[in-house]
Chain A
């Protein structure tokens, strides 16, 4: 009897293994022949979107190209669903708005899931895109893999200071953190806006000693001289490191990676100035000037504190948003010089970060597609300025009303939107916005359509009030491409490196800066277990290629 059970189990196991092997070895089935004109496209959409089927712009585009597209779109948990489809070999004709990572694009390109589009990006098949790539070689190099192939169509939103008249276009994300100080409190205490970290320190002490928050009706002892997050994207403490000559803003590439004007790259978290900055700010933390909750708080908690009038200094994307009814109290606090009486007394520099990368992970045609040429022809229409405008926002006749005297499209007024559609213009945008290979070039702003007011305002602030503090505008670009080997090194070490650096920085801020022994042990650890110099070699090599060396 026992033997029988064993035998049954063994054969059941064998059968299960055979089944799973069979599933893996099955190749991708073509969904149609070379005359295919019906396509299935799987991908992402805005959570607010009412779907692509009812979008008048897309209907027209499909008709123009003579295609029929079945959209299977979702707004959340896209990653799991796509993974399951690719793993299960149930490929659609194309994936849209999945935002595949560089590693994914490389892997799926190599194993044949995605097809090389180089042969289709020609003036005959894709006239619009070819012209753009001709004019913007940087876009072409950003989407071309290290092996010379292109596995996806480009997408990017290149929002920068060029749109407000700067000669050197800097992304709106160059300086994500604008520091700000409570001017009303300064005035009441008879203090000027600080210019260096020593003065700022004294102002913070004065805020605390005089318990300024009580003047806004808060309980005694509730003043928080300075509240930020820790290494957070637009609300971290990094802008204050400018007094030590750097700002290690969060990065899409790798934390603390900076490019120097001479073309070399380095990790700022392994430099002496970094060590000095972290040691210096520990004193602030220990004195209770920096928020004790800075390591754990959420944006909601920070907004709550600042908008209740409890905070003297903070950082955010811009003032009005975080300070609410206390907005008028705050003014920009420009980057500080280093502490008086130290070697940093004349140091003040902001390291800018890269803008959003140009991605080739938002339209990828798969090997299941029988007629990629037609699909490329269809998607070429997406690269027309007025079309991409309508995909980014909403159709002409709904969101855009008419062209003004300069030939720029006007957005429907709030009153008209409410009267015609019973919705705000923001809601209209949410409903009609289409995710996918949208490429918004800098020259579209204010010539095809106007930038939103708040974005314009932030760019103007960035250009006029913040860029003057940037010694050099060199940054490590977000759309550098890596070879297979390089990607392997990155995926092996980067996560450890980033988390170790963050952990030590936090520990030192909290408990006091590193002794010589601790600092050396830290450098040794980054080198031995986090592959620092290997990572640096990879980033340097890729950067050199990008710069055309």
Chain B
């Protein structure tokens, strides 16, 4: 690949340029996160005065101590872990058992079933009718109200279906069938193992979605069932409520706390996802590309 003198860059030079470029891009992406970390341990008014470009100013851990002092926080964390695990399992299973049949060209009424599913991507029942259904099916205050009303994630189904159609060779499944495998065995022993990369994508998508979901829980669940984001939101609103104009400690002082808690809870909420992401990242990149390309 070595180019002729004068018409291009040497390998070394292009390496240097690439490294510099990547470093710049990385800094641009990483700095906002770093900034929030710094802001979460600095005096908020110094943050807004622009004094925390690189280092914290008037270092304080008050924000974190206010967040962690909340007795519901641990409970909320456990709830969120539970909802995320169960929700992700539910989501992966339903997506797989929907996408696989839809990827089979000989499925009767395939086109119509697909259209029927796609309609649900664009039209919903609205909040109150959905609430009525949840109430009348007895799912109120039940964890399953977070998953069942949503059914299956159609966007994910389409990604997985495309993957099955384009990346699982028909020859393999046919060979398995000739060797005497039932349809079920083909699905479980051939298709599922071959689609690990796309499974990682679905896992990450669902995990992030369930981890961040607070609205559904707010509507259908009770206080002691609230997930992590709702608890954090509660803490933030509580500190905001302290900043009343006519009583309490006074607005400016209370607002200082609100801002601190805001930054601290951002970090606390994002930390678990940030910790998990590196472990699924390699599958993620692989799978995301394969599912996206239509054959």
Contacts and interface: CB of A to CB of B under 8 A. Distances in A.
Interface of A: 1-2, 4-6, 9, 19-20, 23, 46-48, 74-77, 80-81, 83-84, 87-88, 90, 159, 172, 234, 298-301, 303-305, 307-308, 317, 320-322, 324, 426, 429-430, 452, 454-455, 458
Contacts of B237: 47, 75-76
Q: Please name the 8 residue pairs, one residue from A and one from B, whose CB atoms are nearest each other, closest first.
A: A304-B48, A87-B128, A304-B45, A47-B238, A47-B241, A5-B109, A304-B49, A301-B48
B218 to A, nearest CB: 5
A455 B247 contact: yes
Nearest to A16: B125
A308 B45 contact: yes
Nearest to A302: B48
A324 B245 CA distance: 15
A5 B128 contact: no
B243 to A, nearest CB: 9
Given A76-B233, A320-B250, 7 more contacts: A5-B113, A75-B238, A172-B246, A234-B245, A303-B252, A304-B47, A321-B251
Given A300-B255, A308-B49, A20 B246 contact: no
A75 B218 CA distance: 12
B128 A2 contact: no
Contacts of A301: 48
8 contacts: A48-B238, A84-B128, A84-B219, A307-B252, A320-B250, A321-B252, A429-B247, A429-B248
Given A20-B129, A81-B219, A303 B242 contact: no
A28 to B, nearest CB: 14
B13 interface: no
Contacts of B246: 159, 172, 452, 454-455, 458
A280 to B, nearest CB: 30
A452 B250 CA distance: 12
B234 interface: yes
Interface residues of B, number: 40
B58 interface: no
B35 to A, nearest CB: 15
A402 to B, nearest CB: 21
Contacts of B112: 2, 5-6, 9
Contacts, number: 108
Q: Which residue, of A304, A305, A429, A454, has the highest number of chain B Cβ atoms within 10 A?
A: A304
Interface of B: 44-49, 108-109, 112-113, 116, 125, 127-129, 131-133, 135-136, 218-219, 223, 233-234, 237-238, 240-242, 245-252, 255, 259
A162 B113 CA distance: 72
B48 A2 contact: no
A303 B241 contact: no
A454 B45 contact: no
A317 B251 contact: yes
Given A304-B49, A321-B250, A455-B247, A48 B241 contact: yes
Nearest to A20: B129
A262 B209 CA distance: 59
A273 to B, nearest CB: 30
A397 B249 CA distance: 22
Contacts of A75: 234, 237-238, 241
A307 B219 contact: no
Contact of B132 (A23, A234, A299, A322): A23
Given A9-B116, A46-B241, A90-B135, A1 B109 contact: yes
Contact of A300 (B44, B116, B125, B219): B44
A80 B109 contact: no
A322 B131 contact: no
B252 A322 contact: yes
Given A88-B135, A322-B252, A426-B247, A304 B234 contact: no
Contacts of A324: 45, 252
B225 to A, nearest CB: 13
A80 B218 contact: yes
A5 B109 CA distance: 7
A303 B109 contact: no
A87 B113 contact: no
A219 B184 CA distance: 72
Nearest to B258: A300
B109 A20 contact: no
Q: Which residue, of A159, A308, A455, has the highest number of chain B Cβ atoms within 10 A?
A: A308
A307 B46 CA distance: 10
Nearest to A76: B237
Contacts of B223: 74
A211 B46 CA distance: 20
Given A47-B241, A48-B242, A2 B131 contact: no
A9 B116 CA distance: 9
B130 to A, nearest CB: 10
Nearest to B253: A321
A308 B252 CA distance: 13
Nearest to B127: A84
A83 B218 CA distance: 13
Contacts of A77: 218
Contacts of B240: 47
Contacts of A6: 112
A81 B45 CA distance: 35
B45 A426 contact: no
A87 B131 contact: yes
A159 B246 CA distance: 10
Contacts of B238: 47-48, 75
Given A5-B112, A75-B237, A84 B131 contact: yes
A80 B219 contact: yes
A303 B43 CA distance: 12
